[in-house]
Structures are given as C-alpha cells and as structure tokens.
Amino acid sequence: MAERRSPLADLAERMAAVAGGDSGLALRELPFLAQLNVRADLDDTLLAHALAAALGCALPTEPNTVATGSGERRVLWLGPDEWLVVAPAGEEPALERELRAAMAGRFGAVTDVSANRTTLELAGARVREVLMTGCALDLHPRAFGPGRCAQTTLARAQAIVERSGADAFRLYVRPSFAGYVVTWLLDAIAGLGVAEPDAQPVEPAPA
C-alpha cells in the first residue's frame, strides 16, 4: 500500500526552515487531523447533553468560539446549528461512531470531512502582523483572542482561522489551496522587517 502523503509534503522543508530564520515565527502542517462536521438542534437538551458527554465538553453556543474537550478534541462554532469537531489523526471512525450514538435517532447529522481541509499552525511574536496582510479579520487580542475562530478568506483563499494561543493560530484550508496559502505565508514572512510589530517609531534627537 502506498504511503499516505500530506498535501504539503513538498513544502515541509521550506516551512521547517522558517523556524531558523530571523522572524521568530514557526510554520508547520498538522496533517490528517480528524475533522467531523456536526449539525444539531441544541434546543433538544437531551441531545445537547449526550453530545457533550461524547466530546468531553458542551458544544459552544457563542458565535465564533472554540471549546476544548477530552483527548485533545476541539469544537469550533461555525453557525447556530453547525460545528467542526477536530481531533488527533486516526480518530475519525471512533469519533463518528460516538457522535452518531449520542444522537440516537434524534434530529442531526455527523459527516466526516477530514479530507476537506488540511491544517497549518503558525506561531510566534509576529504572527498577527503576517496574517493581517492577507486577512480582513480584526486579529487584535481584544477582538480575537485565544479560543476564537472564524470562517474568512486568507489571501483570497477560503479558510477557518482559529486563535489557538496568545501567539499561535491554526488555519484550516482546502488541500487544493494549501500550497498557495503556504507560499503566500512564506513570502509574507520573508517580507518582515527587523522591527518588532508593535514597536513605536523612534523620534529623531533634537539638533
């Protein structure tokens, strides 16, 4: 059987080289994560409780937020009745069975969408500066802090952006656009100057 190859395998060395540069950033692919789309009516309290028990956390109801469940599971709010459940690679079959069992014939749907997106992780002190050059979201921590997510476009490519830490983001992108997005990110990182992103300009000394 042929070895499974990630969408960004050909760019892995270029991404790894970023960590050794002057930008203070790190870029890597998190390939083959389990991703399941969940549609459910949480007005059904029994269903809501059953899904929460299966995931280890309640499905978030606040728009554009992320909940963290058991076993590194993350639940991203995509809409009033739609969520993306993300888990470690290989957990798709078991997770799908658990969620379907939790629904137990109630109104809802679970769809394995693991092949629909690959995941990038970009981290470092200047991460917001890079992303803001190609993303219309307000990424300031006051508006988009850790635990926030949104569906948007990044360099004109559709993406789900999740702030996974103070200086870290996850980008969920279609495999067909992943190479383009990585190339764009590498160019944006290469274009950074040496000043810190929030540094204030130095006023010239009086003559």
Residues 67-125: tens digit of each pLDDT: 999 999 999 999 999 999 999 999 999 999 999 999 988 899 999 999 999 999 999 99
> 178: helix, coil or strand?
helix
Q: Any idea which fold 9-31+116-189 has?
A: Gyrase A; domain 2 (3.30.1360)
Domain boundaries 34-114, CATH class? alpha beta
The residue length of the chain stands at: 207
Domains 9-31+116-189 and 34-114 share a fold: no
Helical (H) or strand (E) element with 53: helix 45-55
Domain parsing of the chain, residue ranges? 9-31+116-189, 34-114
| pTM beyond cutoff 0.95 | no
Give, as one character, the DSSP assignment of residue 57.
S
Query: Which residues contact residue 152 at a Cβ distance below 8 angstroms, ignoring those fewer than 6 apart?
Result: 135, 136, 137, 158, 159, 160, 161
Close Cβ partners of 104 (under 8 Å, ≥ 6 residues apart): 50
pLDDT category at 203 given cuts 50, 70, 90 is very low
How confident is the model at residue 2, as a pLDDT?
A: 63
**Residue 169: exposure state from Cβ atoms within 10 A (0-12, 13-18, ≥19):** buried
